[in-house]
């Protein structure tokens, strides 16, 4: 039965997950994520190998993974981007054939399910973030979902300095424990979680209704899952009268704080740009997505009148010129 280990934040959980599995060498991952995904690799002395994403989901493209595998590859670190599940079946098959570990960065995926149950059951480990921007949060926090009690025991020791008893330190652990006040916040959040997701779903549905058919605007479609409506991303492409950055500025002028999430790509930051896999020619889909992506406001208390006003500006930017 899956086990949960709570952490002080999602980044420390990622760092610890890599430690727990003894990952070394190269790890195949996505450039289209928050930078914590690949920073966790560098903190473990690992080399990220970036692979392009699928145009429909913006998740790691399984069709490109095998070409990136080398004798130094030990693991795959995909991200359930915006809470939409990766192609876990194909990734799992590739990993099994090549003897690789799979750690899912599931920072966005709390509460997400596929036909078999929680999406967090896939891979060797799944890592959550409970940052205040997430659909479920503990102010700040995170978790690792592991497959069995033995794996949990190892992870729990690593997050507590490697201590096994009062006089024994058996591993080079870290202080990654969740504080009691954060845990208390999480317990309160759980009481209203399903209702909050239902309110997010209404926001999502209103955006989709009002933006359907707007030239140059594409709404990402999720897989056939129970989703959590963590984000509402749109792609601002050809046919729209403004580019993405101009729309971002237009919305900001009206007090609407959309987010270019994820821009820039991780692979463009200086600690990664020198890697051969980071070359833009290797990442055409991710590079385009980073130029076009814009996440519109979505949260449980956002009233539908405000959602309609935001969508109206996106649908008719000429009417909302500052």
Name residues whose C-beta falls within 8 Å of residue 285's C-beta, 6 or more positions apart in sequence.
Answer: 52, 53, 54, 55, 58, 61
Note whether residue 189 is domain-resident.
Answer: no
Question: 226 versus 134: which is more confidently predicted?
Answer: 134
Q: Where does a domain end: 131, 164, 184?
A: 184
Residue 294: CB atoms within 10 A of its CB come to 21
Mean per-residue pLDDT, 265-284: 98
User: How many whole angstroms separate alpha carbon 153 and alpha carbon 269?
Assistant: 36
CB 127 within 8 A of CB 144: yes
Name residues whose C-beta falls within 8 Å of residue 166's C-beta, 6 or more positions apart in sequence.
Answer: none
Lowest mean pLDDT among 41-50, 97-106, 167-176, 217-226: 217-226
Give the per-residue pLDDT at 223: 53
Residues 89 and 162 both lie in one domain = yes
Residues 25 and 132 both lie in one domain = yes
Residues 99 and 236 both lie in one domain = no
- Whether the predicted pLDDT of 224 surpasses 80: no
Residue 129 DSSP class = E
pLDDT confidence tier of residue 321, bands split at 50, 70 and 90: confident
Give the per-residue pLDDT at 243: 98
Calculate the alpha carbon distances from 262 to 198, 290, 295 in Å. 25, 6, 9
Which range marks the domain in which residue 86 is found? 3-184
Q: Where does a domain end: 126, 158, 184?
A: 184
Residues 177 and 50 both lie in one domain = yes
pLDDT confidence tier of residue 85, bands split at 50, 70 and 90: very high
Residues 155 and 249 both lie in one domain = no
Residues 173 and 35 both lie in one domain = yes
Give the per-residue pLDDT at 5: 98
| Bridge partners for 27 per DSSP | 48, 75
CA atoms within a 13 Å half-sphere pointing along the CA-CB vector of 312: 10
Residues 160 and 101 both lie in one domain = yes
- Whether the predicted pLDDT of 226 surpasses 90: no
Q: Where does a domain end: 159, 184, 209?
A: 184
pLDDT confidence tier of residue 271, bands split at 50, 70 and 90: very high
Note whether residue 89 is domain-resident.
Answer: yes
- Whether the predicted pLDDT of 236 surpasses 60: yes
24-74 pLDDT per residue, tens: 999 999 999 999 999 999 999 999 999 999 999 999 999 999 999 999 999
User: Any idea what the CATH number is for the domain that residue 156 is in?
Assistant: 3.40.640.10
Tell me how many domains the chain contains: 2
Note whether residue 160 is domain-resident.
Answer: yes
Question: 304 versus 227: which is more confidently predicted?
Answer: 304
Residues 92 and 21 both lie in one domain = yes
Note whether residue 281 is domain-resident.
Answer: yes
Note whether residue 36 is domain-resident.
Answer: yes
Structure-block tokens of residue 27: 């790890």
- Whether the predicted pLDDT of 138 surpasses 70: yes
Question: 136 versus 115: which is more confidently predicted?
Answer: 136
Mean per-residue pLDDT, 263-292: 98
pLDDT confidence tier of residue 222, bands split at 50, 70 and 90: low
Residues 168 and 262 both lie in one domain = no
CB 275 within 8 A of CB 42: no
User: Any idea what the CATH number is for the domain that residue 212 is in?
Assistant: 3.90.1150.10
151-208 pLDDT per residue, tens: 999 999 999 999 999 999 999 999 999 999 999 999 999 999 999 999 999 999 999 9
Residues 119 and 261 both lie in one domain = no
- Whether the predicted pLDDT of 275 surpasses 70: yes
Mean pLDDT of the chain: 96
Residues 54 and 149 both lie in one domain = yes
User: How many whole angstroms separate alpha carbon 215 and alpha carbon 11?
Assistant: 38
Residues 200 and 143 both lie in one domain = no
- Whether the predicted pLDDT of 118 surpasses 90: yes
Structure-block tokens of residue 149: 């009690």
Give the per-residue pLDDT at 1: 86
Give the per-residue pLDDT at 188: 96
pLDDT confidence tier of residue 320, bands split at 50, 70 and 90: confident
Structure-block tokens of residue 123: 């891979």
Note whether residue 309 is domain-resident.
Answer: yes
CB 310 within 8 A of CB 251: yes
| Phi, psi angles (nearest 5°) of residue 116 | -95, -5
Residue 178 DSSP class = P
């Amino acid at each position: 039965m899956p086990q949960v280990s709570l952490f002080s934040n999602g980044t420390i959980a990622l760092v610890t997950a890599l430690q727990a599995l003894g990952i070394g060498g190269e790890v195949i991952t996505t450039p289209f994520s928050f930078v914590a995904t690949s920073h966790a690799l560098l903190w473990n002395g690992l080399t990220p190998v970036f692979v392009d994403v699928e145009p429909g989901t913006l998740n790691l493209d399984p069709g490109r993974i095998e070409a990136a595998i080398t004798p130094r590859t030990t693991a795959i670190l995909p991200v359930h981007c915006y809470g939409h599940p990766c192609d876990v079946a194909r990734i799992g098959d590739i990993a099994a054939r090549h003897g690789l570990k799979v750690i899912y960065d599931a920072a966005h995926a709390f509460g997400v399910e596929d036909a078999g149950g929680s999406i967090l059951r896939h891979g060797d480990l799944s890592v959550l973030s409970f940052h205040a921007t997430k659909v479920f949060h503990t102010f700040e926090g995170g978790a690792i979902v592991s497959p069995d009690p033995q794996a949990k025991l190892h992870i729990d020791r690593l997050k507590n300095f490697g201590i096994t008893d009062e006089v024994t330190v058996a591993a080079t652990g870290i202080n990654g424990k969740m504080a009691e006040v954060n845990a208390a916040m999480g317990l309160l959040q759980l009481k209203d979680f399903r209702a909050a997701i239902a309110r997010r779903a209404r926001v999502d549905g209103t955006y989709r209704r009002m933006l359907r058919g707007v030239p140059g605007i594409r709404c990402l479609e999720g897989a056939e899952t129970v989703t959590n409506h963590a984000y509402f991303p749109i792609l601002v492409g050809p046919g729209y009268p403004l580019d993405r950055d101009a729309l971002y500025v237009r919305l900001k002028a009206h007090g609407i704080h959309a987010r270019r999430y994820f821009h820039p790509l991780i692979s463009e930051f200086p600690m990664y740009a020198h890697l051969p896999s980071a070359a833009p020619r290797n990442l055409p889909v991710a590079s385009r997505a980073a130029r076009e992506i814009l996440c519109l406001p979505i949260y449980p208390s956002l009233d539908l009148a405000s959602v309609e006003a935001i969508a109206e500006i996106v649908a008719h930017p000429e009417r909302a010129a500052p």
